[in-house]
Each structure stands twice: as C-alpha cells, then as structure tokens.
Structure 1
C-alpha cells in the first residue's frame, strides 16, 4: 500500500516488502497518507532536527 500512496518515496524489496526509497525522506502529503493507511502501522514520521514525532500521534 505504501508504494501505491507514495511511489516516489517507497519501493518493494525482493521479499515484496515496502522500504523507504531513501533513508531520510521529506514527509509530504503522500508519505503521510502512506503512514496513515499502513495496515500494520510500520511507518513512523519524525522531524529530522528535533526528533519530534509527527506520526503516529502519541497517546
């Protein structure tokens, strides 16, 4: 699903698991949609400078 939401940001590996295309991605609307739509909540988004969590929201 990640690749469908943000094809420029994610790629499938040989095991057909989604991986970031680059280690540090800019969190644009497509990356956020991929994170929100991830069925196993495997995507975390943090701000590079501060490490502040953007997604998933802390409870």
Structure 2
C-alpha cells in the first residue's frame, strides 16, 4: 500500500490523468491478490480532517 501511495504522489505531480490510468490497469491484479488501494483504506485524506473520538 505504501508503494501505491508513492506512485500516486509521483504520478499526480506529472498529470492528474496518470494515476487513474495506472489504477485502471492494476485493479484486476490488486483484486486478485486482495490488496486495497490507499483510497479504499482512507489514506487519501489527512487524519486531521477526521472527527476526533472525543468530539463524538
């Protein structure tokens, strides 16, 4: 997953169209291996934007 985060970061620096294409190409393999994407795990959003358990 950390490897996918690095690829996403580097590809977005070049173009916003690269990451969706890469994800489209590797999605079948990820599904076969049972690997989640950073977006599926919630790693695409900073933790500070999440509600604190003290505020719930």
TM-score by length of structure 2 reads 0.28
Higher normalized strand content (fraction of residues)? 1
TM-score by length of structure 1 reads 0.28
Work out which structure has the larger RCO, using CA pairs closer than 8 Å and 6 or more positions apart in sequence.
2
